[in-house]
Structure 1
Amino acid sequence: MDISQHPAVRKTPGTATRPGAALAVLAGAQFTVMLATSIVNVALPQIRTGVGLSDSGTTWVVNAYGLAFGVLLLAGGRAADLWGCRRVLLGGVAVFALSSLTAGLATSPAVLIAARAVQGWGAAAIAPSALALVMSLFPPGPARGRALGIWGAVSGAGAAAGVLLGGALTQAWGWPWIFYATAAGAFLVLIAGAIHLPWVPAVDRGRFDLAGTVTVTLSLTAVVWGLTTARGSGWTDTRVLGAFALFAVLLAAFALIERRHPDPLIPPRLFAGGQVVAGNGLMALLGSMWIALFFFLPLYQQQVLGAGPLATGLGQLPLAAANMLGSTLSSRVARRVGAKAAVTGALLIEAAGLLWLSRISSDGSYLADVLGPSVVVGLGLGAAFVLLTALSAGDVPPADAGLAGGLVNTTRQVGGAVGLAVLATLAGSRAADAATHGPHWEALTAGYRLAFGISAAVMTTAALLALAVVRPIAEADPHDHTHRNEASS
């Protein structure tokens, strides 16, 4: 089916609808969002010196973006459904570009951290809107599978490229250029989107659930803040326990509000059909090791193997290439073996790569300890991301496409925040214990090995769960051939 004939799509005035150009813009938007997630990691020492950050302030350069991004994704998805995906996406890109430029110009910790938070707000509008447009523009079947394969490839490549670009720009021109480059990319996406993205009218005329948005945002903020703070203060710290208590209270309030609101932020119909619950649950587990992977692997390369920022970034290229390959092949594999087998296999490949990484050595090398497992991890990660995205958002009503995109991104981000907080705490404890018996670099390696080993166990558990919760499409609706094609893609 030609995209221009899709009933939900209207051409941008004065232009023709071109599916390749539209998908390129949407992929560029997603790449930019994922790039901003990891581009600061390698440059943190230089940023700390340049702006005068404390230890906690340095942590918040990363957390301010991830926290704002994760907790506002549901609101961004709902806004896309109510006000139109194109409008919300372009507005989010504009906010993202301006805040990136502000971050590069920042000369004080407060301005830099605030700009990173606003970046996260813009990203929370971009990600669900872009995914909803992909699902709207490409009909169920092989075309959507190929589009999602490209989507997954650029998502993984963006995260890995962030480490490479951050290292190269910091080493060549200084840390502000990582934000200038991000701003420039966002402005290009904004211009291209205004030209090439078709108008997809809002399909939901309900009311925006402000009370539900506020309570769920604050509840997720509380739990992520508590988990992040626990890394430095301990799990029994009064502030940490208070944050968890606030999370529970606000979550209960959110559930009560949703029951009474005529247009709830998360409508029950979202879970009535398809496999939204299964897809989001597995995506949360995948996210729990995704962010941790790109946190611990560069640290091992720099702090143990002694690589510089640029060499560390270049070392991520094989992982990025494997990620793109896994994303591209995922829909083809799923059509041949079925969604259940494809998801399970992808998660097991991911687990195998992480288990291999858990054998890193304190006196090792990139070729011996990082290259091989990075390729395996990239293949599994790319395929699993695409398949779980399709599972989570591919079978929902058109009126909820943006919300479904926001939900699956939220589960990945919140899962990542939880996973990173837990793994960082455990790895730090293992490293502290090992430091009493040996050199510093051996202690760090012991902590990283533990983090990768636990991540492998989590992915193995996810694969076993996939066998139980992912239904063959015939079980979901044996008479619906459209759904059969969609799920297999």
Structure 2
Amino acid sequence: MTADERIDAPPAPVRTNPRQRFAVAVLLTANFTLAVDFSVLNVALPHIGRDLGFATADLQWIITAFSLCAAGSTLFFGRVADLFGRKRLFLIGIVVLGVASLVAGVAGTPAVLIGARIGQGIATAMVTPAALALLTTMFAEGPGRARVLGLSGALMAAGFTTGAALGGVLTGLVSWRWAFFINVIVAVFVLVVAPFVLTDRAVTRRPTLDLPGAVVVTVALVALVFGITTAGQSGWFTPTAWGPIVAAVVLFAVFIVIESRVAEPLVSPALLRRSNVAWGNVAGLLAFATETALVFPLTLYLQEILGFTAVIAGLVFAFLGVGTVLGGFLGPRVIGRVDAKRAIVIGFVVQGAATLPLAFVSDSSVWVIPLLVVTFIGGAANLVAIVGYTVTSTAGVPLAEQGLATGLITMSQQVGITLGTPVLSAIVTASAGATLLPGIQASIGVDAALCIAGAIVVGLLVRLPTVPAAPRAG
């Protein structure tokens, strides 16, 4: 039996060897870097526009090109990882990331930079589900897997939260181009170390890839993300917003029909009939949408209502970032005391309870200290829910389908991140009066309500599979 085949029998969940620890470090480093890429350019956009000659209206494509490809093709690449090898796809994705980042760093025209961002998005769709699948198949279901997924969630949350700050520092001290060059350095490190520490199960049979299903679901996801992104910029009632969203709904219906008729579907209907997979990913979408979107109304509140600078607002959000990292470490402990389903419910309830007081903020600066406290608590609770949904959505899934399961997880994360801000932005605009404050209050109230709705959905609809007892070590 080869080392690659032995991964099919996961080791005991608690004890790890040095090779496993190095493998976990490599995979988490890659995921953290990709999480940073989602937000690292937000602060740098005006500088990029001036340096490369972007029209102001076209700057958003630097972000949109990345998110369209990352969210649109992640389900496809999650299945490719199962069929052709997770380690192989992970390494190819890292190569694509390094090359695309190098091209972006030296880009001299808008077209070259947009093309490089498309490459980074595709690399994200390749690497993230493959890395998560390698992590989940490295550990048996239980405390070991929960801990490593908690650490992964904590680092990804830290990546999302620190990306904007890192981009601002790099832009101010050296150049925005270093936001890309750092990726090149990370890619070289991963490519040097990963081949020696990562293992994957041997692919003994290569089923036919469901190409029609892959094309339809990819176009559907791209249309959905494009419509949501456009809605955040132009409003939900413009044809360029609702048109792609309607088209996405139709294409998803076509995809379901295709999957029910092909011999080897891209997404097995049996997998989606598992309540922990289907509703677990709905919970994940809500978890990412609620916490990432909350930053938008709070940014308006801190700068437009209280008059703080962007630097001070960023420092305030550092408390949220610290809370999310803490939640990543707390998540596995909560799961160990209750279970993954109850961890999601507890996380959502606490997050909603911490968010609700912010729906009553005023134009008085006395709200700053309560804001720091409740965002810290809400961030920690959100990560407990995220770790819970990651464990829930992979529980009981056969090793041969872990790439697809983690592809679904990645998709729900990315769609949630894309969906949340346009929704709260529309509520702020629709509810604003003489000032933005009423709109800010209304949007935060909706955010809190979505947290409670997520807890109810999970509590009523998720059923965890029975997990066999893990073998005793030694």
2:441 aligns with 449
Structure 1 pair 223/340, CA: closer, same or farther in 2 (3 Å)?
closer
Asked if the contact 2:344–2:386 (Cα under 8 Å) also holds between the matched residues in 1, the reply is no
CA deviation string 1:171-229 (max 9, x = no partner): 21132222222332233233232332224323662111221111111112112222222
Work out whether 1:279 is the aligned partner of 2:274: no
Asked if the contact 1:161–1:313 (Cα under 8 Å) also holds between the matched residues in 2, the reply is no
Work out whether 1:375 is the aligned partner of 2:362: no
Provide the C-alpha distance between the structure 2 equivalents of 1:459 and 1:73, rounded to a whole number of angstroms: 25
1:153 aligns with 154
Structure 1 pair 399/456, CA: closer, same or farther in 2 (3 Å)?
same
Work out whether 1:419 is the aligned partner of 2:392: no
Structure 1 pair 98/62, CA: closer, same or farther in 2 (3 Å)?
same
Where do 5+ consecutive residues of structure 1 fail to align? 11-15
2:469 counterpart letter in structure 1: T
Structure 1 pair 119/408, CA: closer, same or farther in 2 (3 Å)?
same
Q: CA deviation at 1:484?
A: 13
1:368 counterpart letter in structure 2: I
Q: What SS does the corresponding residue of 1:358 show, helix, strand or coil?
A: helix
Provide the C-alpha distance between the structure 1 equivalents of 2:165 and 2:452, rounded to a whole number of angstroms: 29
1:67 aligns with 68
Work out whether 1:482 is the aligned partner of 2:469: yes
Where do 5+ consecutive residues of structure 2 fail to align? 11-16
1:335 aligns with 336
Q: What SS does the corresponding residue of 2:236 show, helix, strand or coil?
A: coil
Asked if the contact 1:4–1:18 (Cα under 8 Å) also holds between the matched residues in 2, the reply is no
TM-score, normalised by the number of residues in structure 2: 0.89
CA deviation string 1:322-348 (max 9, x = no partner): 212211121222221233332211111
2:252 aligns with 251
2:138 aligns with 137
1:226 aligns with 227
Asked if the contact 1:360–1:369 (Cα under 8 Å) also holds between the matched residues in 2, the reply is no
Work out whether 1:462 is the aligned partner of 2:462: no
**Where in structure 2 are the equivalents of 1:7-22 lying within 5 Å?**
7-8=7-8, 18-22=19-23
For this pair of structures, how many residues does the alignment match?
464
Asked if the contact 2:334–2:384 (Cα under 8 Å) also holds between the matched residues in 1, the reply is no
Q: CA deviation at 1:19?
A: 1.2
Asked if the contact 2:350–2:378 (Cα under 8 Å) also holds between the matched residues in 1, the reply is yes
CA deviation string 1:49-93 (max 9, x = no partner): 333333432222222211211111101101100111111011111
1:81 counterpart letter in structure 2: D
2:421 counterpart letter in structure 1: L
Q: CA deviation at 1:113?
A: 2.2
**Where in structure 2 are the equivalents of 1:293-308 lying within 5 Å?**
293-298=294-299, 300-301=301-302
TM-score, normalised by the number of residues in structure 1: 0.87
Identity of aligned residues (%): 35
1:386 counterpart letter in structure 2: V
Q: What SS does the corresponding residue of 1:482 show, helix, strand or coil?
A: coil
Provide the C-alpha distance between the structure 2 equivalents of 1:188 and 1:302, rounded to a whole number of angstroms: 39
Q: CA deviation at 1:149?
A: 1.5
Asked if the contact 1:102–1:112 (Cα under 8 Å) also holds between the matched residues in 2, the reply is yes
Provide the C-alpha distance between the structure 1 equivalents of 2:179 and 2:301, rounded to a whole number of angstroms: 22
1:13 aligns with none
Q: CA deviation at 1:100?
A: 1.8
Which has the higher mean CA deviation after the structures are superposed, 106-115 or 165-174?
106-115
2:13 aligns with none
Provide the C-alpha distance between the structure 1 equivalents of 2:373 and 2:199, rounded to a whole number of angstroms: 42
Provide the C-alpha distance between the structure 2 equivalents of 1:360 and 1:186, rounded to a whole number of angstroms: 44
2:14 aligns with none
Q: CA deviation at 1:135?
A: 0.8
Q: CA deviation at 1:42?
A: 2.3
The two structures, once aligned, show a CA RMSD in angstroms of 2.8
